[in-house]
Amino acid sequence: MTEPALRFTGALSQLSPSARRALFDRSTSANVAVRVDTARVIEEVRTGGDEALRALASKFDGVRLDELEVPRARWQAALDATPAPLRRALERARDNIASVHRAFLPQAAETSPEDGIVVGRRPDPLDRVGVYAPGGRASYPSSVLMGAVPARVAGVREVVVCSPPSGTGAPSPIVLAAAAIAEADRVFAIGGAGAIAAMAFGTESVPRVDRIVGPGNAYVAEAKLQLAGAVAIDAPAGPSELLVIADASSDARVIARELVAQAEHDPLACCVVVVIGEELEVGIVEAIASAAATQPRREIIAEALRNAGGVLSARDEDEALAFACDYAPEHLLLLTGDADRLRSRVRNAGTIFVGASSSVAFGDYMTGANHVLPTGGLARSYSGLSVLDFVRWTTWQRVTPDAAARLAADVAVFAMSEGLAGHASAASAWGTR
């Protein structure tokens, strides 16, 4: 059996500076062509509206779109035609997502730092959000559920879904069925950077939204970055990532299955194993080769492993965790004898899977946790999608006359130190009452 070509192998301590940079630099924005092409598409949609979107669909999707919006009757027809086992799975995922996200709904709160001063903060649902569901190599009804269901839980008034058209002129039937199950309000057959621009600016048909969420390819991720000044986004999201930390207690076949499952997403997927103990590397590489050989998408898997795959060894737990902290993966799978203890030491990860039976596949579809997660090392500063992405916070404050009198002198001094005499006068007026 031919072993897979892995880009990164050997001991972590022996990685060259260039190899280490390559491991950590996973941003698709490094591609100048992607940046330039995306900027051009954004400008075309900004100035051309629906006409530009139709031209883009013809160019990139090979379809002529008479209407950009998909009628609700077509969603319902897709849902009615969905095989019963798949519909049950979609509904179960929806219910679990709703349950988990409902448990984490933010709550209004108020506090009183001094007598007579009350400061409050409340979460207000956004008015309209856009959910992007990728197309291309595969259809992703799960992305519809992961975006639309938390928005509904948060109380968003209108949920708009955009997904690339198939040869029929509409998104795949399973995406339409998911939109119906998630109780979206509108669906548009538009994809790529053009869809992001349409939701950011609005067109004759596509409404302007308050926030755009959902994963996508490099062009979608770049469009979100370029438009972040015009519309709120969840987080920059690129190709799928998995980091596995394993030790001698782990099963090489489990590791291989998980790596293959993430690598099949995209040739740019990043899948790395850090094993504590050098003697385990060979068995893991062999298991990956065996698992990949039987997969229908084995060519994509092989390309992903060549591009950014790795099996690396760490001297000890501390070195493995230090690497994980720097790598900041989208998915972190802990396959060690004391995975629960290790979990408490992890700081930077989109989501952590604890133990061999906690397959990333379960989190992708059914546990109720959100699979829209930061990639490219941005788990250092971004969180996964949640109900917090679908609210904005309104702060209010009340000061009684007595408290105003007590505050007046200090506020006036503070204001004058900044050269703001008007502020000082406004405060001082209450001190003379």
| Catalytic site positions | 330-331
Give the amino acid at 14: Q
What residues have CB less than 8 Å from 299, skipping those under 6 apart? none
Contact 355, 379 (CB under 8 A): no
Q: What is the H or E stretch that residue 10 is in?
A: strand 8-11
Hey, what are 178's tokens?
């998911």
Instruction: Enumerate the H helices of 116-207 as residue ranges.
Output: 141-154, 173-181, 192-201
Q: What is the H or E stretch that residue 323 is in?
A: helix 317-327
- C-alpha–C-alpha distance, residues 378 and 236, integer Å: 8
From 178, 244, 248, 249, select the one nearest 214 (Cα to Cα): 178
- C-alpha–C-alpha distance, residues 63 and 20, integer Å: 43
132 three-class SS = strand
Burial of 227 from C-beta contacts in 10 A (0-12 / 13-18 / 19+): buried
Q: What is the H or E stretch that residue 9 is in?
A: strand 8-11
DSSP 168-187: TSSS-HHHHHHHHHTT-SEE
Backbone φ and ψ of 100, nearest 5°: -65, -45
- C-alpha–C-alpha distance, residues 268 and 173, integer Å: 27
Contact 85, 359 (CB under 8 A): no
Contact 280, 251 (CB under 8 A): no
Burial of 330 from C-beta contacts in 10 A (0-12 / 13-18 / 19+): buried
Contact 101, 370 (CB under 8 A): yes
Q: What is the H or E stretch that residue 394 is in?
A: strand 391-399
Angle between helical axes of 173-181 and 141-154 (0-180°, round to 10): 20
- C-alpha–C-alpha distance, residues 220 and 227, integer Å: 11
Strand 186-188 with 158-162, pairing: parallel
